[in-house]
Amino acid sequence: MLMEEYTEMNNEQCRNSNEEIKVGIAQIAPVWLNRERTLDKIIKYTKLAGDDGCQLVVFGEGLLPGYPFWIELTNGALFNSKVQKDIHAHYMDQGVQIEAGHLRDLCRTAAQKEIAVYLGCIERAVDRGGHSLFCSLVYIDPQGTIQSIHRKLMPTYEERLTWAPGDGHGLRVHQLDPFTVGGLNCWENWMPLARAALYAQGEDIHVAVWPGGIHNTADITQFIAREARSYVVSASGLMRKSDFPAEIPHLDKILANSSVFLANGGSCIAGPDGEWVVKPCIEEERMIVATISHQRIRAERQNFDPAGHYARPDVLRLSLNRERQNMLSILESSEFDKNG
């Protein structure tokens, strides 16, 4: 496509698009480490968001099938522990294999409701042997198609005992009416270069997903919004002592050290001036809904645009490697195939 055609097409899209969209955050608890029951709950809230007119709904980090809370509660660093092996094996059994169609029903729901979805899940990646887990952020478009799977670049602290480090393949943005949306998992949001990679692709809604905790979202949500001059949608999960199902291995050991709230939410939305659109919400399951305007982004970019007129690419530039990391590269020999 010629540059002139590309520019004209983008101009036409801008002229025809609405200024506003409605976004939803589903601040919910999983049915912990139960993929099917948690997915049923996610689909229910996706339908609720769609029925409320939302064009985007966001769920917390690792919600499907749940965050690895057991590690810090059961001496997770103890090497060769039967307790750790048993719980990890159960975690793996409940992980999400996208190739196996585990998100198919959610994709159908997104298409039926014409709503985009950002979902935090624990991916059991087939392309890495099928026995390692990644904390992944999946984007499903309003047509029900999975457009990106971002594997968390660096698991934080005890997470490294159960999650593998990801790669840059999913560091992508997506067009949603007049907005360009991208996202990061939890403490990736503290990584300046990861944020910059999304800013440079035109991001103006930044989705930050968290396992839950106002201590995570209270400060950084507003900080990123001011830095990016973008909306920041911080989506957190909840986790209560009552959310542990009876079938979890070694549940007695987990509950012995659990508090009433292991994750208290903290979901919120900040505007491109850094002020609250929705203040942090804690200790309740609910759908948080707000209408946001693209005009506010353009207004705030007048004096600062981190990837535009306030960038100095002649002095500072960032390189992004989007190659999906794999230990095996297979080169087939067509000559061998023909001659056997």
Of the candidates 285, 162, 262, the one whose C-alpha atom is nearest the C-alpha of residue 212 is: 262
Whether 47 is catalytic: no
Residue 232 pLDDT: 98
Active-site option among 54, 123, 135, 152: 152
Distance CA 314, CA 162 (A): 41
Active-site option among 186, 188, 227, 281: 186
DSSP per-residue letters across 205-264:
EEEEEESS-HHHHHHHHHHHHHHHTSEEEEEE-EEEGGGS-TTSTTHHHHHHT--SEEEE
Instruction: Determine whether 169 is exposed, middle or buried from the number of CB atoms within 10 Å of its CB (0-12, 13-18, 19+).
Output: middle
pLDDT bracket for residue 339 (50, 70, 90): low
Residue 12 pLDDT: 43
pLDDT over threshold 60, residue 318: yes
Residue 168 pLDDT: 97
Whether 121 is catalytic: no
pLDDT bracket for residue 336 (50, 70, 90): low
**Going by CATH, does the domain composed of 19-339 fall within 3.40.50.620?**
no
Which residue did the predictor score with more confidence, 14 or 303?
Answer: 303
Instruction: Quote the pTM value.
Output: 0.92
Instruction: Determine whether 91 is exposed, middle or buried from the number of CB atoms within 10 Å of its CB (0-12, 13-18, 19+).
Output: buried
pLDDT over threshold 70, residue 9: no
Distance CA 203, CA 122 (A): 25
Active-site option among 41, 61, 135, 227: 61
Q: 88-119: per-residue pLDDT in tens?
A: 999 999 999 999 999 999 999 999 999 999 99
Whether 188 is catalytic: no
